[in-house]
Amino acid sequence: MSSIGVRSPYFITDNDTSIAYGTLAIDIDGTLRYVITKDVIPGTTTVTIDISQLVRDYIQPVYDSGFVAADTGAVTVDYELNLFTAAGGASAKNPITGTLEAYDGYNYYYQGNNYTLPANGDLVTGGRIYVPEGGSGFILKMTSDVVSIVTFTGSDTSVSSTAITRLPCSRYVSYPVVFINRFGVQQQMFFTAKTVESIRTNGSKYKSKFNNNDGSINTNKHQVVDFNKNAKRQYTLNTDYISVNEDAFNAHIQELLLSEHVWIDDDELNIISVPVNVVTSSVQYKTSLNDRLVSYTIVFEQAFDLISTGR
C-alpha cells in the first residue's frame, strides 16, 4: 500500500479502446464516500480522475500534549475504476483497484503529480533538525508505509537517521512550534531567540447622536461608537543563528510558511498546542556565504478571537 500526499493532485487513470466513460468508486476508512462518472479525455481512450481534493476533506491533522501517530489525520482510501462503452456496456478490461494511505502532504510543481511519500525513512527534509541544548522532542518516520513516532532526549545528537544540531542556551523562552510539513506529518521547530508578544484589534464603527430631553447634544456619549470589537494575540519569534547545514533549515522555514496547520506551545498562557496562523508571507532565503549569520523572524497570530465569540 502506497502513502500519498493529497495537497497535490493524485490521478486515478485507465484506458481502453472503444470506451466512452469511466466510473470511480472511492471508499474512505471503509465507507463509500464518492461515485464519480467521467467521460474520456477528448481525442483519447483514457479516463483520468483527480481524487486529491475529495480525499483531503476527510484529513484533519491535530496536535496536543498526548500526540500519537494517528494525529496526522491520515485516511485509508480504497478505489475501483470501471470503464464503459457508449452503450453502457462494461469494458472487457478488468477494473483498476487499489488501496492508498493519504496524508496532508504535497510535492513541488517540478516534481510532477501523484506524489507518494517515501516508503521508508525519516519524514524530515534535509536529514537534520535544530533543537535547544538539553531539549527533547520527536520526529516521525515511515517504515514499510507505516508512520511511527521516534522520540529523543536532551543528550541525543541524532534521532533515527536524522542529525540533531544543538542550539546554545538562551535567556529567552524557547517557543516550540509544531507544523504539518510537506510529508503531511507533524514536525517541531524551535524559536529560541528574541520573542515579542503583541495584540491586534479589529472591529467596526458607526456614528450615533444622543440628545438630552431638551434636544441639546449629550457630550458625555460617544458620537463614534466602536462595535463588534475583538482582537488576536500575535507572536513575533526569532530563530537562533544557524551555522550548520543552513539549506536544511531554509527548507524547514519554507515548509512552515506553506503549512496550513501550525501550533505553538505557550508556557506563559500555560496552554499546549495553541492553534496559530503564520502571518509572515515571504522571507529572503539566507546563506552563510551571503549573510554570514542565518536567522529568521516569523510572525504568528492566534487562530481564534481573544474574546470568546463561539456560538
User: Domain for residue 216, yes or no?
Assistant: no
The three cell numbers locating residue 278: 503564520
Residues in the chain: 311
- CATH number of the domain where residue 99 is located: 2.60.40.1930
Q: Higher pLDDT residue, 212 or 161? A: 161
Do residues 190 and 130 lie in contact, with contact meaning Cβ atoms separated by under 8 Å? yes
Counting the structural domains of the chain, the total is 2
Place of cell 458625555: 220
pLDDT of residue 184: 97
The three cell numbers locating residue 244: 550548520
Same domain assignment for residues 170 and 292: yes
Mean pLDDT (whole number) for 85-104 = 92
Same domain assignment for residues 21 and 163: no
Range of the domain at 36: 2-111
d(CA 193, CA 8): 34
Same domain assignment for residues 76 and 158: no
Whether 270 has a pLDDT exceeding 80, the answer reads no
**Final residue belonging to a domain, choices 76, 93, 111:** 111
Same domain assignment for residues 59 and 87: yes
DSSP one-letter code for 221: S
Mean pLDDT (whole number) for 31-40 = 97
Facing residues of 271 across strands? 266
Sign of dihedral through CA atoms 258, 262, 266, 269?
positive
d(CA 119, CA 143): 6
pLDDT band (50, 70, 90) for residue 229 = very high
User: Domain for residue 251, yes or no?
Assistant: yes
User: Domain for residue 192, yes or no?
Assistant: yes
The rounded mean pLDDT for the chain is 92
Q: Which residues have CB under 8 Å from 42's CB, separation 6+?
A: none
d(CA 65, CA 178): 11
Each residue of 184-212: pLDDT tens digit?
A: 999 999 999 998 989 999 999 998 877 78
Q: Which residues have CB under 8 Å from 192's CB, separation 6+?
A: 132, 167, 170, 172, 174, 175, 239, 240
Same domain assignment for residues 57 and 184: no
Whether 248 has a pLDDT exceeding 90, the answer reads yes
Whether 310 has a pLDDT exceeding 90, the answer reads no
**Beta-sheet pairing, 162-167 with 128-132:** parallel
Same domain assignment for residues 81 and 18: yes
Q: What is the DSSP string of 142-154?
A: EETTEEEEEEE-T
The three cell numbers locating residue 64: 496536543
User: Domain for residue 85, yes or no?
Assistant: yes
pLDDT of residue 181: 97
User: Domain for residue 272, yes or no?
Assistant: yes
Same domain assignment for residues 158 and 270: yes
**Letter for the amino acid at 166?**
R
pTM of the model: 0.90
pLDDT band (50, 70, 90) for residue 290 = confident
Same domain assignment for residues 95 and 137: no
pLDDT of residue 189: 96
Q: Higher pLDDT residue, 209 or 113? A: 113
d(CA 243, CA 214): 75
User: Domain for residue 76, yes or no?
Assistant: yes
Same domain assignment for residues 104 and 126: no
User: Domain for residue 148, yes or no?
Assistant: yes
**Final residue belonging to a domain, choices 111, 136, 167:** 111
Distance of CA 76 to the CA centre of its chain: 19
Same domain assignment for residues 66 and 173: no
Do residues 46 and 21 lie in contact, with contact meaning Cβ atoms separated by under 8 Å? no
**Final residue belonging to a domain, choices 111, 131, 162:** 111
**Letter for the amino acid at 234?**
Q
pLDDT of residue 164: 96
Same domain assignment for residues 89 and 176: no
Same domain assignment for residues 38 and 87: yes
User: Domain for residue 134, yes or no?
Assistant: yes
